[in-house]
Structure 1
């Protein structure tokens, strides 16, 4: 069954930036496929809130993005919801320190599969639907793709790879599909991984000291930029917009 509303799949949409992105696109008239891995309760609550605003406008799909078979199944499930797919936001990401002398093969697989391999094969599986609808893709990059963060070599490499994919896809998939990226700076401090401490307050302050606007941004700053690229920028492709309070100026 088709629907007149455009449809977007947002990965990692159950909480934080993904949830705000889903809410913002929904307010712009999109139907949402909310992907989650383990946060089923949050995904269900978000979908229920959106559906209360507009009936049958949000649905949830579970997938583990480290499993390529599940990534492909996610694409099929997303397209089947309303018989179309007009937008893809590759938001889901894994972030934690892994110094080179301590990183394991499991670290490599978890970070690279989630942050880099999954977006590639998800877009690949979504290509026919995105081409049919003149779709738009937005990848969540990171300022650390250009300015590496100490002791995070795998994360930085994964995001640098996603930045390269963004530009490559913009060339290869034009003119049918536009592909852009957003690179957040200090928006939400990272959540602590199980067994790991969160980011220390003094380190948070050191980041703000290097940010010209001297404060964190908000999830709305990212969500509105994604919505701009998907809804209001038909002549923009291959660009990665830093939303970082000026931190990428390198001062």
Structure 2
């Protein structure tokens, strides 16, 4: 049996009728790595959330909108984009329940930021505003293309999966981890110091990256390896 990986969808209110939305690159990456994706509908019924978690062997948190700063003790600042409090509450609840059950966790972009907030960390609400000397992390043009380098921590999960201490990644974000949450360690940074990968230091598997490997699994072995490593952890 393939491990069942939960992926939360979000409510897209951009059109006349609300839609449950998710970029298909995310479930496609889980499938490519040998997992079975299960899309989770955003809602706030605790009983249903508990039943959702019982169905899962692992939880993947995808990229998306900014997390509301109130969840890490701040007021919205200049550059913070539109947030969805309902989505934040839903995904934070999923992460909390998944951690209680000891499920493996993997996150991309917003997912990495959400793990950090869930564990008591904070975020830069807008890198160009708060760190004007930082790289241009919001990549123009084709989001599949490599954009900037990262330095990888020796002995980390990232080094094992990427096969070295240097790599190039794609990049589409304007927020990033500021103060690191409890039980996390940094495993990769960009040249400007912005955190590009984290892993858990205790308990169940937790891994996350700031870039978008799901967009490159068909052309980049290291990006596929990130998802395969997660799916393997979900099979254990």
Q: TM-score range by the shorter chain?
A: 0.3 to 0.5
Q: TM-score, normalization: structure 2?
A: 0.45
| Structure exhibiting the larger radius of gyration computed from Cα positions | 1
Say which structure is richer in strand: 2
Q: TM (normalized to structure 1)?
A: 0.43
Point out the structure with the larger helix share: 1
